A = this chain, B = another copy of it.
Amino acid sequence: MTSNPCQVKISIAQLDYHIGNFESNIRKIREAIHQARDESADLILFAELAVSGYPPRDFLEFDDFIHECELGIHSIAQDCTGIAAIVGSPSLNPNPKGKKLFNTAWFLAGGKVMAMTHKSLLPNYDVFDEYRYFEPNKDFKVIDYKGIKIAITICEDLWNMTDTPLYTASPMEMLIRQHPDLLINIAASPFHYDQMNIRRDVLSRNASTYGLPVFYVNHIGAQTELIFDGGSMVVDRRGKVVDELNYFQEDLRFYRYDKDKKDVQLSDRGIMGPQNLDTSRIALIYDALVLGIRTYFRKLGFRDAILGLSGGIDSAVTLVLAAEALGNEHVHAILLPSRYSTGHSVRDAVELAENLGVPCQTISIEEIFRSCESTLLTAFEDRPPDVTEENIQARIRAVVLMALANKFGYILLNTSNKSEAAVGYGTLYGDMCGGLAVLGDVYKTQVYELASYINRLKEIIPVNTIQKPPSAELRSGQLDSDLLPDYDLLDRILFQYIELRQGPQEIINMGFDETIVRKVLRMVNTNEYKRHQTPPILRISPKAFGMGRRMPIVARYLS
């Protein structure tokens, strides 16, 4: 307990939850409560849907799952003596009308549930589906705790401050009428490369608009494609960021809020700001991808990755990221040369593996390729070679890689980049295989930026890998530029279409060549069927392929 009645000590617990892993999530929450109580904190904050993990998706439709969440809340509540906690978990809507659940911040104190605050604004765009499960809250009540009036909001509730708001309701306009002393926001706000700045801006504007200090708590860790970077923070009532927790790591910090001074400051036990964080966009992407890989393997209970190393830049960057995430000895690089592989590609691949100290093995696909040619000779009826033979090679590589993955219990990493995924430049069941697509949200030009970032101190990725013209090496003399515009041009068109959702005429009006624009957009739309069957993609942009971009497969628009 704090001595000054107008002061409270508030802790923020930024943790990595695992969807549906109640044992682990509840244990982590309880341990943080014990630690905070040992530090004489009055209140500790946990993220949105911490008990279930986020996003639980259709598990929320199972009564059994909701029951587990409720058991979790009540077991956590029992630990809340001498300390209060705010914990995110779903709750049942007592009204027979409307959806069955609320997305709730549970206020636990005195060993029991003291209050519940439900989320009002339910994001239902991009990767979010909250209106699928939850009824929006329409009942606003500030919570009084130790003489301090707390406005509790959940993530999106603070996210509607624009001239064209997505929601007609505004929870803060309702809550501010009750004259709260401070504002708490528990969140599940996934990473993309601009999110850090947007988040600071939104929280700061809420703080200064309402003249209230803001305590914000987020998840860290990854849930399949979604990466949570943390970045929990405290903002004072003038909108200034007082402190930010670490990015890409679990963290627990303490703050003092003084009601008389309306001031908030880091407790003496704390450390200020995120540690050792390079906030350049490419560094954030690098860190996010490493966290994404690491969490994916750990939560699935796997230790080792396998990937095909071609000598090209995509597999090189993927290998470096995987080695950083899992440890060099836990990544297995396989060279799979065919008759079309160039000598320099093999050399570049071996050099990279040696630079990293990653185990590396060469398995020629030539014998299998010849047996495929011989097996298919009659059936092909003397048709001339075409893309079919290229696809066969890519698929044989997948057969070999998956065989090793199955035999030794590895997960195959997919190395396709976002530019390729966009235009369908890849072989389904071939190089589009894998358990996780590491670079599937990274445009080719950004893959080059990652390579430069990786090489910033010394040459890890061979300079030849970076400098040579990209090629799939599936036939003699093949170059990506045979079929595609230069990646610099391609990526700028793709960005307009995918991230900014500009139409063909809008993109042409920017000065891009009409023929190229229409060709690129047609390639994107006609290859939806390929993307439908690809691995989950680690999301680092505001608009990634996968759950956040939902397109019809059978359609005829711009195609």
Interface of A with B (CB < 8 Å)? 18-21, 24, 53, 55-59, 61-65, 67-68, 95-99, 124-125, 129, 131-132, 163-168, 222-224, 295-296, 299-300, 361, 363-365, 367-368, 370-372, 374-376, 379-380, 383, 386-388, 391-392, 395-396, 398-400, 402-404, 406-408, 428-429, 433, 435, 501-506, 529, 532-536, 547, 549-559
Contacts and interface: CB of A to CB of B under 8 A. Distances in A.
29 contacts: A20-B555, A20-B557, A20-B558, A21-B555, A21-B556, A53-B552, A56-B555, A57-B550, A57-B551, A58-B550, A59-B552, A63-B501, A65-B557, A67-B503, A68-B557, A97-B164, A98-B167, A98-B168, A299-B554, A363-B376, A363-B379, A368-B372, A372-B399, A391-B403, A391-B406, A398-B429, A532-B535, A536-B553, A547-B550
Given A371-B371, A383-B407, A535-B533, A99 B166 contact: yes
Contacts of A506: 63-64
B433 A552 contact: no
A35 to B, nearest CB: 24
Contacts of A557: 19-21, 59, 65, 68
Given A168-B97, A399-B399, A551-B58, A375 B379 contact: no
A365 B379 CA distance: 13
Given A98-B167, A300-B554, A372-B400, 5 more contacts: A99-B166, A223-B554, A364-B375, A368-B371, A380-B407
What are the nearest 5 A-B pairs in CB distance?
A64-B503, A20-B557, A371-B371, A19-B555, A21-B556
A391 B407 CA distance: 10
A554 B506 CA distance: 39
Given A57-B552, A375-B364, A403-B372, A395 B398 contact: yes
Given A403-B388, A554-B223, A63 B503 contact: yes
A135 B444 CA distance: 37
B388 A407 contact: yes
A389 to B, nearest CB: 8
Residue with the greatest number of chain B CB neighbours at <10 A, chosen from A65, A406, A504: A406
Nearest to A298: B554
Residue with the greatest number of chain B CB neighbours at <10 A, chosen from A55, A62, A65: A62
Residue with the greatest number of chain B CB neighbours at <10 A, chosen from A99, A163, A532: A532
B555 A18 contact: yes
Contacts of A371: 367-368, 370-371
A56 B558 CA distance: 13
Nearest to A396: B399
Contacts of A168: 95, 97-98
Contacts of A372: 368, 399-400, 403
Contacts of A59: 551-552, 555, 557
A529 B532 CA distance: 13
A70 B451 CA distance: 46
A544 to B, nearest CB: 12
A62 B552 CA distance: 14
A556 B407 contact: no
A207 to B, nearest CB: 23
Given A168-B97, A398-B429, A53 B555 contact: yes
Contacts of A380: 407
B556 A20 contact: yes
Contact of A223 (B55, B58, B295, B552): B552
Residue with the greatest number of chain B CB neighbours at <10 A, chosen from A299, A363, A408, A555: A555
Nearest to A365: B375
A13 to B, nearest CB: 21
Contacts of A391: 402-403, 406
A19 B223 CA distance: 32
Contacts of A547: 550
A348 to B, nearest CB: 22
A428 B535 CA distance: 11
Contacts of A503: 62-65, 67
Residue with the greatest number of chain B CB neighbours at <10 A, chosen from A99, A132, A165, A552: A552
Contacts of A224: 552-554
Contacts of A395: 395, 398-399, 402, 429
A367 B99 CA distance: 58
B61 A501 contact: yes
Contact of A504 (B64, B99, B299): B64
B402 A379 contact: no
A334 to B, nearest CB: 8
A19 B552 contact: yes
Nearest to A19: B555
A62 to B, nearest CB: 5
Contacts of A19: 552, 554-557
Contacts of A374: 367
Contacts of A365: 375
A129 to B, nearest CB: 7
